[in-house]
Amino acid sequence: MKKIIILILLLTSVSSFAQQRRDRVKALKVSFITERLDLTEAEAQKFWPIYNASDENSTKIKYGEIGGIRRELNDKKDALTDTKANELLNKLVDAESRLYKENVELINKLRKIISPKKIILLKDAEDDFNRRLFEQFKKWREEDRKRN
């Protein structure tokens, strides 16, 4: 019984830590993009609800659906039949199509709020932020390996 309680506490603390890390990354991203786009207060008030909703939808598609398809492919690739491969391929095409539509919809909504130049800068800022975040994760991983 003690082991179960300890395991639950450990999983809860790991989950809490992961959520804190996600919240911190999100806050850094907001700050980074706001600065890079030089959003006015009025622009930011309109921009962030639209951007966050689109980002949430895109994340669900990327990590939920597309990630699930990729995990299924990795788990079953040796026993994959053409029928099942075709089914997964159709799901992948559908998910990627919806992801594309989500991006187009975001751009169309943002055109009413910020300039086209700032929309272009947004894509650049997102790519730059993701690149920097990936580099930071690599550093943390290397530091963890050195410690262990």
What confidence score (pLDDT) does residue 141 get?
A: 86
The domain spans of the chain are 48-115
Q: Give per-residue pLDDT as tens, 43-76.
A: 999 999 999 999 999 999 999 999 999 998 888 8
Distance of CA 72 to the CA centre of its chain: 20
pLDDT band with cut points at 50, 70 and 90 for residue 22: confident
Q: Is 82 helix (H, G, I), strand (E, B) or coil?
A: helix
What confidence score (pLDDT) does residue 76 get?
A: 80
Q: Is the pLDDT of residue 6 over 80?
A: no
Q: Is the pLDDT of residue 20 over 90?
A: no
Q: Is the pLDDT of residue 85 over 80?
A: yes
Rounded to whole angstroms, the Cα distance separating 105 from 39 reads 20
48-64: string of b/e by CB count within 10 Å (b at 16+)?
Answer: eeebeebbebeebbeee
Rounded to whole angstroms, the Cα distance separating 58 from 49 reads 14
Mean pLDDT computed over 116-139 = 94
pTM of the model: 0.78
What confidence score (pLDDT) does residue 7 get?
A: 44
Rounded to whole angstroms, the Cα distance separating 110 from 3 reads 51
